[in-house]
Amino acid sequence: MPIIYVKDRNGQEHKVEADYNLTLMEIIRDKGFEIEATCGGCCACATCHLYIDNNWLDKLEKINDDEESMLDQAFDLKKNSRLGCQIEFTEEIDGIKVEIAPD
């Protein structure tokens, strides 16, 4: 089973089994982690803010203009910030490590 590693807001890392072709936000939300994802994945809220482990950043699709402008409104922005709803979970990123950004 494909997996992702999710560090929650308490700093605890979890190994999570996941299906391909869902977004990282959907996987994390559906497993019951604390992630708001208020807009449901329309790239309109920035409450699915994640930090991507640096070893995995280059394997992701490049950030597009919509994601970039929404990320600009997120708090605690870092160089490895991405929106979880804009990243599809595929075989190429099986094993990816992410951290849920602060509320």
Q: Is there binding between residue 46 and ligand FES (CB under 6 A)? A: yes
Q: How far is the CB of 64 from ligand FES (least distance, A)?
A: 12
Q: How far is CA 99 from the centre of its chain?
A: 8
What binding mask, one character per residue, do residues 58-87 give for ligand FES by CB under 6 A, x or -?
Answer: ------------x------------x-x--
The size of the interface with ligand FES (CB under 6 A), counted in residues, is: 14
Residue of the chain from 3, 16, 22, 43 that contacts ligand FES (CB under 6 A): 43
Q: How far is CA 103 from the centre of its chain?
A: 14
H/E stretch holding 57 reads: helix 54-57
Rule CB under 6 A: which of 3-32 touch ligand FES? 25
Q: How far is the CB of 40 from ligand FES (least distance, A)?
A: 6
Sign (positive or negative) of CA dihedral 76, 9, 21, 46: negative
Buried b (16+ CB within 10 A) or exposed e, 4-22: bebbeeeeeeeebebeeee
Interface positions with ligand FES (CB under 6 A):
25, 37-39, 41, 43-48, 70, 83, 85
